[in-house]
Structure 1
Amino acid sequence: MTRTITVGLDGSPESRAAAEWAAREAALRGLPLRLLHVWQPVPEPMAQAPLLGAETQAHWSERIPREAAEGLRLRHPGVEVLREQVVGRPYEALTKAAEDAELLVLGSRGLGGVGGFLVGSVGSLVVARAERPVVLVRAGEQAADEHEPDPAGIPSAATRYRPVLLGLDADKPHDSVIGFAFAEAERRSTGLRVVHGWAMPPYYVYGLASAPEVYHGIARQQAEALTQVLAPWREKFPQVEVFEESFGGSPSVRLVEASAESSLVVVGRRIRRTPIGAHIGPVAHAVMHHSAAPVAVVAHD
């Protein structure tokens, strides 16, 4: 069975932006695009209302994916566009759909003039439960936003892609996250910027004021560890130029700042299959809510 790039579609501006991003990604990967519209019927008493009858609701529910598919086929003629409608609760249906998808794409409202996302409850629940990569795209996201400015200083889809940005823990690297970021950079013929933030061991903290050489020694060790982790990936993806950045501290702020100059931000999320329930780590959570670029959350064991 051929996997698809699947996008959750509800007719909102954010879901339309997600569908456009998903179509571009489908073209890069040579995969079909699947538009998934989840229809959650209104309660029976409301369904009997003149303006919310079953026929009216069914008409609008069918119209959303049909019109979206027609527009996407015109704007992306090389992409096969499929559409599907299911009945149920959105987060459950989307999480289920992710199982058969190469990638699940969801829209997220932007924070007005402030760079960042407003991730709703459905998006958060899906990201926390899906075991396939999930990409969040802000309302208003344009193809040109992912590219370098032209000579006039204006972002243009005709110029080179901005680098892909990867948040990486060199002490606990995961191949699925690293491989995803390298592959995305290769598809875009662009570079990969890797940000690694690290914390000082607790037993060193109190002696740093009088021993700065200790800090610098650990910093060198961490930078070398990052280089070693990335070495085999550089060999596997020789066309991807890699920029390494290792520093003491949380990577969240650095990733958010660098997202403004990135085409895509990639972070990982540990899969939890315990009674404790689903979980989104602090770095992924911060990037999801404040990134200025689309964010790919890649689940790993």
Structure 2
Amino acid sequence: MDRVITVGLDGSPESRAAAEWAAREAALRQVPVRLLHVWQPVPEPVVQAPLLGAETLQHWTERIPREAAEGLRRRHPGVEVTIEQRAGTSADALVDGARDAELLVLGSRALSGLAGFLVGSVGQSVVAHAEVPVVLVRAGEQAADEHVMDPAGIPSAATGFRPVVMGLDTDSPDETVITFAFEEARRRRTALTVVQGWNLPPYYVYSLAAGVDPREDAVREQAAALTEALLPWREKYPDVEVTERSRLGSPADHLIDAARDASLVVVGRRIRRNPFGVHIGAVAHAVMHHATAPVAVVAHR
């Protein structure tokens, strides 16, 4: 695997925000950024059209990545930026083009009102099939959005990063996901908030019906399980401050709520070889569409 961050670029505000985020992440990791521009072959009659053909094709295949790269180099002088162009279906080309990267960054539409499902079909397909971590960045995302407020109530790089948030299932904690989250917190020199959501097992309902409230015991058990799962990682990353949140209720809802104060949200996705299905998982799917912070979906076995 090359030490490079790949960005899916199509010239949209979403992809430009993704490229800016990738450049900031590249500076933290001290790696290059590769702008991957995918274009679909144009039928010959369109290419030959005097008004729509060659000029439009050149605009999409040359001008957009070139100008994006020039802008990133100007704003992030310490980051090496390269361009790669591929022809084909967007999702397939992005997945294939990121196989040798350590991170793939994509843009997604900004939140608006009560609308959901803000990650398009291409983004969902890439997340479902890529085996490298995929970060989804909202249109309009800025460096200041990742930082805590200054005394004037304005986000500022001088105040340091907001926490990284990770969702953790203590029944099946995965080393790949946990390592990614701790490393991201360490790079940012910020805290890591670990969120665990859980529901009462069915047999607890019978205890409630019998007049016994088992929730206090369940809260203690779940909190203890979270602490135990994180103990080796606290020892491995002593410089990362860890906050544990074990809450009764939907894991996705708790993660989306925690994302409001986060610089990055980390969730896992189990790799499945079956060609059918979405292959994202309910929690990751909900967080991708509704979290206000950039979301890293980390594939694991």
Which deviates further from its counterpart, 36-45 or 242-251?
36-45
Deviation at 1:91, TM superposition (A): 0.3
Shift of 1:159: 1.2
Choose 48-57 or 218-227, whichever is displaced more: 48-57
State the match for 2:179 in structure 1. Answer: 179
Quote the offset at 1:222 in angstroms. Answer: 1.2
Residues 1:98 and 2:98 aligned together: yes
Given the two structures, how large is their TM-score scaled by the length of structure 1? Answer: 0.95
Name the CA distance, whole Å, in 1 between partners of 2:269 and 2:179: 14
Name the counterpart of 2:266. 266
Match of 2:140 in 1: 140
Segments of 5+ residues of structure 1 without an aligned counterpart are none
In structure 2, relative to structure 1, the CA distance for the partners of 1:117 and 1:146 (3 Å cut) is farther
CA RMSD of aligned residues (A): 1.7
Q: Distance in 2 between matches of 1:162 and 1:208?
A: 40
The alpha-carbon deviation at position 229 of structure 1 amounts to: 0.7
Q: 1:212 to 1:300 in 2, by over 3 A?
A: farther
CA distance in structure 2 between the partners assigned to 1:275 and 1:288 by the alignment: 21
- Larger CA deviation: 272-281 vs 141-150: 272-281
Deviation of residue 60 (structure 1)?
A: 3.4
Per-residue CA distance 1:149-185 (angstroms, 9 max, x = gap): 0010111122110000001101110010111000000
* SS of corresponding position for 1:104: strand
Partner amino acid, structure 2, of 1:112: S
Runs of 4+ in 1 over 6 A off after TM superposition: 114-117
* CA contact 2:111–2:292 (8 Å) conserved in 1: no
5 Å-filtered alignment, 1:48-127, equals: 48-112=48-112, 118-127=118-127
Per the normalisation by structure 2, the TM-score is 0.95
Superposition deviation, residue 208 in structure 1: 2.1
- Please give the residue correspondences for 1:1-301 in structure 2 after superposition, counting only pairs within 5 Å: 2-112=2-112, 118-301=118-301
Cα displacement (A) at 1:275: 4.0
| C-alpha contact 1:117 1:138 (8 A) present in aligned 2 | no
Q: What secondary structure does 2:107 align onto?
A: strand
CA pair 169-98 structure 1, distance change in 2 beyond 3 A: same
> Which whole-Å deviations, capped at 9, do the CAs of 1:81-132 have from their partners, x for residues lacking one?
1111111111000011221110000000112366977111100000011011
Check the 8 A contact 1:115/1:292 in 2, yes or no. Answer: no
1:27-80 CA-to-partner distances (Å, cap 9, x unmatched) read 000111101100112333433332221354024320111111111111111111
Measured in 2, the distance between the counterparts of 1:160 and 1:117 equals 31
Kindly, what percent of the aligned residue pairs are identical? 70
* Aligned partner of residue 267 in structure 2, secondary structure: strand
Secondary structure (helix, strand or coil) at the match of 1:25 reads helix
One-letter code aligned to 1:16? R
Q: Distance in 1 between matches of 2:4 and 2:154?
A: 33
Amino acid at match of 2:249: G
**Which shows bigger deviation, 27-36 or 48-57?**
48-57
Q: Structure 1 residues 270, 159: closer, same or farther in 2, change over 3 A?
A: same
- Matched position secondary structure for 1:166: strand
Distance 1:211 1:6 in 2: 57
Structure 1 residue matching 2:157: 3-state secondary structure: coil
Q: Secondary structure of 1:135's partner?
A: strand
Count of residues in correspondence between the two structures: 301
> Aligned equivalents of 1:212 and 1:16: distance in 2?
56
Aligned 8 A contact 2:222 2:246 in 1: yes
